[in-house]
Amino acid sequence: MAISAEFTRKLAVPAERLRTTCKPLDQVEARGGDVAPTTYLGQQRAVDSLRFGIDMARDGYNVFVLGPVGSHRHALAEELARASAAERASPDDWCYANNFSDTERPQALRLPAGRGVAFREDMRALIDEIRIAIPTVFEDDDYRNQLKAIEAEVQDEIEALWQSIRDEAEKDDIAVLQTPTGYVLAPVSDGKVIDDKDFDKLPESKRKAIQAAIQRLSDELEARIESLPKLRKQQHERVRALDRDVAAHTVSVLIRDLIAKYADVPDVARWLEDAQADIVENAQEFRQSGEPAL
């Protein structure tokens, strides 16, 4: 049976239809949430298993991925984990800070997402400011004047002790003399210290009176000498109290804004208060050269 040319022409296939052209993988549109990533075609079971493990919202569960080299198992796991994380709220930040009551056990501070880095930078800026402020305030004229006032008051108290015993000794014709080895008491006649020869020439009653006075004054002199370390200790305590007040005021001015900034994070606000107390307690380290540890 003869086939007409017209019929043959109808059965002809155009050249552009002799092959199928596929779009590149990165241009293929996803058709639903259950479709595997286009870069991991043929791994649907692996994708489903990973999604099941990643979506397990309970503590203590982990995902173990095993596959041959070149299977892109790590990239697949990371891609699915990132996709899942993008649908969830950002996790809180955690900062490990010094534990001032137990330095061997750092304290974990929990902050809203994104504020951990800001807190770290705020603390660095605070310490930099304190390193400048504390040495400066202790070089200030106001501090030096208060220090001199304390020293002058203590020196006046010491001088008053010596003057009182001098006045008491003078009534009994006895002088209080300071020597390289300490203080001694000596009899006086006509305003001058007399030696042993002149002392022996005095009437016996006079000698006995002078010896009794010297013995009594010796006890009082010894009591005053023993009180000197106490006065010096009180002076040191007053200086330490002054140093603490000056440091506390300086640190308080610098840290108060930071405490207010983190008032909505109670754990951080409390830690800042502990840090403030620790800095004040160890202000001496900031007065010296070098970088003190917080």
Q: What percent of the chain has pLDDT over 90?
A: 37
Convert the pLDDT of each residue in 45-59 to its tens digit.
888 888 898 888 888
Question: Rounded distance, CA 239 to CA 204, Å?
Answer: 52
Asked whether 242 and 147 are in contact (CB, 8 A), the reply is yes
Specify the pLDDT at position 291. 52
Convert the pLDDT of each residue in 225-242 to its tens digit: 888 888 889 899 999 999
Q: Is residue 93 within 8 Å of residue 114, measured between CB atoms? A: yes
What is the average per-residue pLDDT within 150-160?
A: 89
| Residue 67 bridge partners (DSSP) | none
Specify whether the CB–CB gap between 246 and 142 falls below 8 A: no
The rounded mean pLDDT for the chain is 84
pLDDT score recorded for residue 269: 95
Q: Determine the pLDDT at residue 85.
A: 84
pTM: 0.61
What confidence tier does 34 reach under pLDDT thresholds 50, 70, 90?
very low
Per-residue model confidence (pLDDT) at position 293: 47
Yes or no: say if 131 and 291 are a contact pair by the CB < 8 Å rule.
yes
Among positive and negative, which fits the CA dihedral 234, 239, 240, 241? positive
And the tokens for 112? 């809203």
Residue 175's DSSP bridge partners are 186
Tens digits of residue pLDDT in 61-107: 888 888 888 888 888 889 998 888 888 888 899 999 999 999 899 99
Q: What is the 3-state secondary structure (H, E, C) of the chain?
A: CCCCHHHHHHHCCCHHHCCCCCCCHHHCCCCCCCCCCHHHCCCHHHHHHHHHHHCCCCCCCCCCCCCCCCCCHHHHHHHHHHHHHHCCCCCCEEEEECCCCCCCCCEEEEECCCHHHHHHHHHHHHHHHHHHHHHHHCCCHHHHHHHHHHHHHHHHHHHHHHHHHHHHHHHCCEEEEEECCEEEEEEEECCEECCHHHHHHCCHHHHHHHHHHHHHHHHHHHHHHHHHHHHHHHHHHHHHHHHHHHHHHHHHHHHHHHHHHCCCCHHHHHHHHHHHHHHHHCHHHHHCCCCCCC
Residue 97 in contact with residue 271, Cβ under 8 Å?
yes
- Compute the distance between CA of residue 269 and CA of residue 259 in angstroms, rounded to an integer: 5
- Give residue 36's pLDDT band: very low, low, confident or very high (50, 70, 90): very low
pLDDT at 129: 95
pLDDT confidence of residue 26: 58
